[in-house]
């Protein structure tokens, strides 16, 4: 019998789907709810999907509905979803001393979106180690604020849960019903949440490049500028894009919401600055909110759509089409307008192939968002602004809502569940598919046709 082997394009979506199914079954069990009752299938499915896809939209309050067992299941799903299921499975195989085949290594490199198979296992171990260190450090800092409030047991558990959720950009918490709204004047909690979100969204490749070049620079006694100069072009681009987007977001939300009594209006100047910046950060697929999103002015919503859609950076825990992908898609347009096939960035060439792939990912993502938004408007009594916000938030795995999630009917919950799933696996799968080998020798070349545009 011929053994059937799944490709990475098939295996990655299937692995996420399998985790969602298992999570759904566990969350349906009476032991998962505080009331010890069976949870409806659609609600359990939605909760499992939002956890695995590290989105953060919830139809059941994480802090009050789920028992400790249910919260543990959700936290495990968040961690698995944040790290990537293939990565977790690989770690388990390594722990059980199972030898990985070349196909396993190739699939792992695809799942991590890195173009190498050599040293891939060392990279996995380094990712796991770095993740544990950062999440535990975040939990310790959270604990200084939450243990005095909730007591030792609940305070430590809430600290760990929030740290993992923030780093994985999941946006789920067990600190209360209002996300970060009760803590928007707490500088420690706001700061550590921002740092965890940003670190998770920057990506592991950037982390390790910065760490390695910094250590080497210190050994060789380089000054900071010499160290930065030696960063890879990917690191430099991601840092520039991330810094630029965060700064633009802060300026926009600080200006547009400054006098809005439903968001920043009633805060002092210091709080306005912190919370405007927090909004800019959380829209990068984190999902925590320090003020009601339904209070945002329409112009702020337009910018929120854009920031959510772009998301974080490649090879990290964030969602969205990714900063570099969006930038290359824009670069593709500008290069075409200037009559150039390639582009130059940071003294490096960006090929037309890379730019076309980025454009395809962005175009498909926009199509999915528009199609699902139309379906949500048709099946639910929601306006276009709230529906688009909900779908962009779901597909970009952000987790912010303008109050629409709690109003969804069964059909709406299923649509948003699909949006979360597609938003988590589609950019990865498309990137792998578009990077796959093309058999040019088998292409049939037809005569060039004449087509009129414009």
The per-residue pLDDT for range 45-72, each reduced to its tens digit, is 999 999 998 888 999 999 899 999 999 9
Position 352 confidence tier, pLDDT thresholds 50, 70, 90: confident
Separation CA 305–CA 338 (nearest Å): 28
**pLDDT tens profile 266-303:** 999 999 999 999 999 999 888 898 898 999 999 999 99
Instruction: Report the pLDDT value the prediction gives residue 439, as an integer from 0 to 100.
Output: 47
Separation CA 259–CA 354 (nearest Å): 43
Separation CA 321–CA 316 (nearest Å): 12
Separation CA 84–CA 82 (nearest Å): 6
- Decide if 339 contacts 315 (C-beta within 8 A): no
Question: Is the pLDDT at 87 greater than 80, yes or no?
Answer: no
Q: Which of 165, 163, 170 is nearest to 55 (CA)?
A: 170
Q: What is the pTM of this model?
A: 0.86
Question: Crossing angle, helix 298-310 and helix 233-257, to 10 degrees?
Answer: 170
């Amino acid at each position: 019998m011929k053994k059937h082997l799944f490709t990475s394009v098939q295996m990655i979506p299937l692995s996420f789907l399998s985790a969602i199914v298992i999570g759904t079954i566990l969350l349906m069990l009476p032991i998962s709810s505080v009331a010890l009752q069976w949870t409806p299938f659609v609600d359990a499915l939605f909760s499992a999907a939002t956890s695995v896809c590290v989105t953060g939209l919830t139809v059941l309050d994480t802090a009050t509905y789920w028992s400790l067992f249910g919260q543990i299941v959700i936290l495990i799903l968040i961690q698995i979803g944040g790290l990537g299921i293939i990565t977790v499975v690989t770690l388990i195989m390594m722990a059980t001393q199972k030898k990985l085949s070349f196909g396993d290594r190739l699939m792992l490199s695809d799942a991590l979106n890195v173009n190498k198979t050599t040293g891939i296992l060392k990279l996995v171990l380094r990712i796991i180690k770095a993740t544990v260190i950062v999440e535990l450090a975040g939990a310790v800092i959270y604990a200084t604020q939450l243990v005095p409030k909730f007591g030792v047991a609940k305070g430590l558990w809430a600290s760990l849960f929030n740290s993992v959720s923030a780093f994985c950009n999941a946006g789920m918490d067990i600190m209360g019903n209002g996300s970060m709204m009760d803590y928007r004047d707490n500088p420690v909690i706001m700061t550590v949440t921002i740092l965890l979100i940003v670190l998770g969204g920057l990506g592991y490749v950037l982390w390790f490049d910065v760490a390695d070049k910094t250590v080497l620079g210190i050994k060789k006694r380089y000054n900071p500028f010499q160290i930065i100069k030696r960063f890879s072009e990917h690191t430099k681009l991601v840092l520039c894009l991330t810094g630029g987007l965060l700064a633009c977001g802060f300026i926009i939300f600080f200006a547009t919401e400054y006098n809005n009594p439903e968001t920043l209006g009633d805060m002092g100047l210091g709080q306005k600055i912190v919370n405007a910046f927090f909004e800019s950060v959380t829209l990068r697929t984190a999902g925590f909110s320090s003020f009601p999103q339904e209070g945002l002015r329409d112009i702020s919503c337009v910018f929120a759509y854009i920031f959510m859609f772009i998301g974080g950076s490649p090879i990290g825990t964030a969602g969205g089409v990714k900063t570099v992908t969006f930038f290359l898609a824009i670069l593709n347009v500008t290069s075409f307008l200037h009559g150039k096939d390639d582009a130059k960035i940071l003294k490096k060439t960006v090929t037309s192939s890379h730019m076309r792939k980025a454009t395809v990912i962005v175009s498909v993502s926009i199509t999915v968002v528009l199609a699902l938004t139309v379906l949500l408007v048709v099946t639910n009594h929601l306006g276009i602004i709230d529906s688009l916000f909900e779908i962009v938030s779901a597909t970009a795995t952000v987790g912010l809502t303008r109050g629409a999630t709690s109003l969804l009917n069964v059909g709406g919950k299923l649509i948003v569940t699909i949006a979360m799933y597609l938003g988590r696996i589609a950019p990865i799968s498309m990137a792998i598919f578009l990077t796959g080998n093309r058999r040019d020798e088998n292409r049939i070349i037809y005569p060039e046709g004449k087509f009129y545009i414009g």
